[in-house]
Chains A and B, each alone.
Chain A
Amino acid sequence: MDTGRSKLTWSLILIVGALTVCPVIMLILGSFSEGLTAFGSFTVQKYVDAYTDPALAGIIVNTVVFVLGSSTLATTLALFLAYLNNRTDIPCKFLFRIISIIPMMIPHVLFSVSWALLLNPSNGLINLVFKQAFFLESAPLNIYSLWGMILVEGLLDLPIAYLIIAPAMASFDVALEESSKVCGAGAWRTLLRVTLPVLRPAILAAFILGVVRSLASFAVPSVIGMPGRVYVLATHLYQMISTGFSTDYGKAAAVGMSVLAASITLIFIYRAMTAESEKYVTISSRGYRPTVVPLKAARIPLFAVVALLSFVLIVLPVAVLFYTSLVPYSMVPSAKAFSLMSWKHWIEVLKDPISLLSLKNSLYLGVGGATLGVALSVFVAYTIVKVKTKAAGILESLSFLSFSFPGIVIGVGFMWFFVRTPLYATIWALLIGYIATYLPYGVRPLASAFIQVHSHLEESSLVCGAGRMTTMRRIIIPLLVPGMVSGWILMATMFVRELTLSVVLSRPGTEVLAVQILRFAEDGLWGRLSALGIMMIFISTALVLLATLVGSRFKPAGT
């Protein structure tokens, strides 16, 4: 390996390490500290208490089912939608592309609540429709269950999976599929034997990100799981830290260490399974253009399936939110509800200076944070994929470090760290914390895009006398545009609705949208919460459209 590459790797390890290791070290200290903060007398009592809890075994079983179920659902749906959107002639592609990433823009608490309004067994709208249509005595569906949690979490993780799989699908080399067809394989066999195996790194990346994300998820387990008395690790942690007034985050961190260990193991498994990434290279020195598979007679039926899926899974919950923002209190739709509709909650939010400040701060953090985050991610992904050394493995694990900690405790790790720096209580603390925690959202789509760019391209450029930076700017980056756009969208929308860090780091002047939404949720003000939530969706949608437009301008010719 040349020294330039080695320098790059170690510089990145230093930068990413500084971002992600500090809060985790504070959490480790906190888990061994006797007191309620990160420093105190040494003890292992918190580990003993946390791991001798008899309820833990059942909770782990629930957690495994929840995590695997939701990740499988998210990845399968993402694959289905990405294939149809990128590789077929299905109508209204642009619309479906936006729709598949909408759940990401909705605050998770709101998304969960709207599903509870649709599918609760007492008066959930869908249940009421089924009961009337089929003359049933009791509700056929109960969202407050493990399957309900899997459904809602799967939908929330769908955009992450989609944004990782779609760029890989978009930059697929036609020659591979054509060869398969020339050899006599049908479309279905080509899909199973060629297309899906080639997409394996992207599919695995999507699945593993889904697993890590759902392990750390709190909104769905609390809004859907808790009323159904289905407990997973996140709600178990919540129970552990919220019983009593002296919240012991060190004890929660002790349990969180297992989640961290599980996440790191998954990352190593993923690396092992994608070690021979040359196999997946599909953009070499020849021109490429993904072919469009004609759906022929299946075009309209498949369009109807996707449209129905989008409507039931995404449009309906968003419509519920909009409805909630217009009615004076939580009401089942009725003539009375429609007669009472007004813009009152919207006006209250728009008159509220803290809500307006939080809109401004979140927009700033979304745009600025995502831009910086993607810039860092390009270098990290390049090093992980193209500079394949043990040090690159360290870098990959570091990039996942604070992301894979349960959201409920990582914010406290950052607070314990930032309070010892001049950055505490500033917007910079939020910006750095966001980038550090959500780095995998930038790195994963870019890594799966890098995997598909053959090193011959880079080598040819270097042989022709271009420097490494010029090669990166002129050759590599244009080919990575779909991955960069995906990473930017993932990070920007995530930052606009970030809660776990913000809730402990936000102080007067640095309020952000999710914190304001949480305040409304704590006070049960669902109308204002929905109005602000919809504004958040608008902002995120605008950012997505902007990124997509910018991305399309920089796309390589011929695609």
Chain B
Amino acid sequence: MKQIMVMIVLLASFTVAHAAEDVAVKAKAEGVATFYANITAVEPIMEAFQADTGVKGQYTRISTSKFVATILTEFEAGKLMADVVQGPLPVLEILKQKGVLAPYSSPAAAGYPEWTRKDEAIQLFGIEYVGLIYNKDLVKAADAPKRYQDLADPKWKDKIVMANPANHATTISWLVGLKENVFSSEDEWRTFLKGLAANKPMFVASFGPTPAPVESGEKLIAISMPKYIITKAPAPLDWARLEQPLFGSPRAIAVTANAPHPNAAKLFVDYWLSAKAMGMLATDVGEYVLAPGVFPPIDGMDKAKVLPIRELSDEEIQKWGTEFQAIFDVK
């Protein structure tokens, strides 16, 4: 019996290895894997992919606000050029509903936590984590917020910058995530929101413009992404080590249905999920990835609790956006 089991395992691993080899050979013949995403500084990964596999990685960056519209337009016209797409989980779920994604279970995701295998098509690989970053030349670590509630302290009046809570989807989801994961009651959460609004934060269009006013000292603290500590080095940025967890939207990847280069697409997803590529993403860009044991080189981040927030539907985002528009007096 034991011998039969060993035979089965050997046969299975041989089949997997053979299949992987087969994919690699076919991918090389296809020559290119086209990747649509909106993620920073992935060019080194594309170069490494080409060097390691012989398949060219071609990256098209499309902003999140145009992502679904662009892909659906190409898909409906039968001209979707992407082999692989990557974006926030809700974006990929919309694309899956429209039939844009193909099922693919990557062997490279075997070590990832169970909850990252969202379904047969979508694999989560990171969390777009949101934290509080501050100017360490102007704010002492001891004075930095310890809890989210501290953002409502009047001492931060006119000193905060954040993405517009009336329309920035990740900020809206994050604020709702705080209600569901941090605050003990809705009243307590609403008191926090009113306090934060009373501090008159400066609003910008997205996370991208949030660090600059903190670097220059125009503002002292940003509701932003700790990854900027890496990408904006040597700017005097640090992150507030909160007693509470950090939250963010899960980032997902998938192969497209009718991909022009189906084998290159699989090979690319396998490569993307590997410890090497995820290590590059964490080290060079400061991303929080879900590959086991890989952390961004930000002091203390390996100890931090970083959790995915519940993905909100577009209707919920619209509804909360309207509500935050009133609370934060966004005209």
Contacts and interface: CB of A to CB of B under 8 A. Distances in A.
A2 interface: no
B187 interface: no
B76 interface: yes
Contacts of B292: none
Contacts of B168: 242
Contacts of A330: 211-213, 215-216, 235
Scoring A223, A226, A424 by chain B CB atoms within 10 A of each residue's CB, the highest score goes to A226
B180 to A, nearest CB: 19
Interface stretch (B9-17, B139-147, B199-207, B267-275): B199-207
A242 B167 contact: yes
B92 to A, nearest CB: 9
Contacts of A523: 40-41, 208, 231
Contacts of B69: 36-37, 246-247, 249, 412
A245 B234 CA distance: 33
A504 interface: yes
Nearest to A62: B331
Nearest to B285: A523
Given A55-B331, A229-B331, A242-B65, A524 B232 contact: yes
A417 to B, nearest CB: 10
A523 B43 CA distance: 14
A166 B208 CA distance: 40
Contacts of A507: 60, 81
A223 B67 CA distance: 22
Interface in A333-377: 340, 354
A416 interface: yes
Given A122-B218, A229-B331, A508-B60, A37 B234 contact: no
Interface string B187-209: 00000000000000011111011
Contacts of A242: 65, 167-169, 205
Given A522-B63, A526-B212, A247 B68 contact: yes
Scoring A420, A425, A522 by chain B CB atoms within 10 A of each residue's CB, the highest score goes to A522
A238 B68 contact: no
B152 to A, nearest CB: 19
A39 B166 contact: no
Q: Is the interface of B mostly helix, strand, loop or mixed?
A: mixed
Interface string B210-239: 111101111100000000100110110000
Contacts of B74: 419
Interface string B45-77: 000000000000011110111111110111011
A503 B94 contact: no
A416 B169 contact: no
Scoring B58, B66, B67, B204 by chain A CB atoms within 10 A of each residue's CB, the highest score goes to B66
A223 B209 CA distance: 9
B93 to A, nearest CB: 9
A212 interface: no
Nearest to A331: B216
Interface in A244-268: 244-247, 249
Interface residues of B, number: 63
A231 interface: yes
B134 to A, nearest CB: 14
Nearest to A354: B43
A229 B162 CA distance: 13
Given A330-B212, A419-B79, A37 B72 contact: yes
B250 interface: no
A332 B217 contact: yes
B131 interface: no
Interface in B157-180: 158, 164, 166-169, 172
A120 interface: yes
Contact of B167 (A238, A412, A525): A238
Nearest to B64: A245
B25 to A, nearest CB: 24
A328 interface: yes
A398 interface: no
Contact of A246 (B38, B94, B331): B94
Contact of A504 (B70, B79, B164, B167): B70
Contacts of A58: 331
Contacts of A247: 65-69
B90 interface: yes
A503 B69 CA distance: 13
Interface in A478-537: 503-504, 507-508, 518-519, 521-526
B8 interface: no
A239 interface: yes
A328 B234 contact: yes
B171 to A, nearest CB: 11
Contact of B314 (A55, A223, A246): A246
Contact of B166 (A223, A243, A420): A243
Contacts of A420: 77
Contact of A37 (B73, B94, B164, B331): B73
Nearest to B69: A247
A222 interface: yes
A9 B58 CA distance: 45
A117 interface: yes
A227 interface: yes
Given A123-B218, A229-B331, A425-B81, 11 more contacts: A37-B69, A123-B217, A226-B205, A227-B203, A227-B204, A245-B88, A245-B91, A246-B69, A354-B43, A508-B58, A524-B228
Interface of A: 35-39, 55, 58-59, 117, 120, 122-123, 144, 222-223, 226-227, 229-231, 238-239, 241-247, 249, 328-332, 340, 354, 412, 415-416, 419-420, 424-425, 503-504, 507-508, 518-519, 521-526
20 contacts: A37-B72, A227-B202, A238-B167, A242-B167, A243-B166, A243-B172, A245-B314, A246-B94, A247-B69, A328-B234, A330-B211, A331-B215, A415-B70, A415-B73, A419-B73, A419-B77, A424-B77, A524-B210, A524-B211, A524-B232
Interface of B: 34, 38, 40-41, 43, 58-61, 63-70, 72-74, 76-77, 79, 81, 88, 90-91, 94, 158, 164, 166-169, 172, 202-206, 208-213, 215-219, 228, 231-232, 234-235, 314, 317-318, 321, 329-331
Closest 6 CB pairs of A and B: A244-B314, A329-B235, A330-B216, A243-B167, A330-B215, A122-B218
